[in-house]
Homo-oligomer: A and B are copies of this chain.
Amino acid sequence: MGLTSEIIVQALKLKGLRVTPQRYAVYANLLSRCDHPTVEQLVVDLNKNFPVSSQATVYSSLKALQEAGLIREVLLEEGVSRYDANVQPHHHFRCRQCGHIEDIDWAAFPPLALNCLRPGLQPERYEVTVHGLCDPCQL
């Protein structure tokens, strides 16, 4: 068991989550990728070589990890939820052609002043979503 593995185990325990092979696999997989996979993509990827987790358990693992604050849900297209192990504030870019999604560093934009909102609203956080074309789709 490598260093990273131990860190993952500790992260789960710190949040009061029982460490199961399925939960570990889901979190480790999410940490290892920079795209924002759908549940379906996760299930396929996890069970590529040998069965690791059922679909229902992936859903429940994602829910537990999300409630623990270890991952976050990303909603950028209709019909599917995507998941992201990067819980630090950041922005997103989405290709309108192929649907590719990637993170934009928080520092890419100057901080926005939220005091220009109509009085009565109590803002807590914000994010910018940029739509456009990614490299392969610019033909």
- Contact B120–A135 (Cβ < 8 Å): yes
When distances are taken between beta carbons in the complex, the residues of chain B under 8 Å from A15 are: none
Give chain B nearest CB distance to A99 CB in angstroms: 13
Complex CA gap A134/B122 in Å reads 6
Number of identical protomers: 2
Give bound CA distance, A125 to B130, whole Å. 6
Residues of A with Cβ closer than 8 Å to B?
A: 73, 75-78, 81, 93, 96, 104, 108-110, 112-114, 116-117, 120-135, 138
| Cα distance, A109 to B112, chains bound together (Å) | 7
Residues of B near A121 (CB, < 8 A) are 93, 130, 132-135
Question: Which of B81, B117, B126, B132 sits near A124, CB closer than 8 Å?
Answer: B132
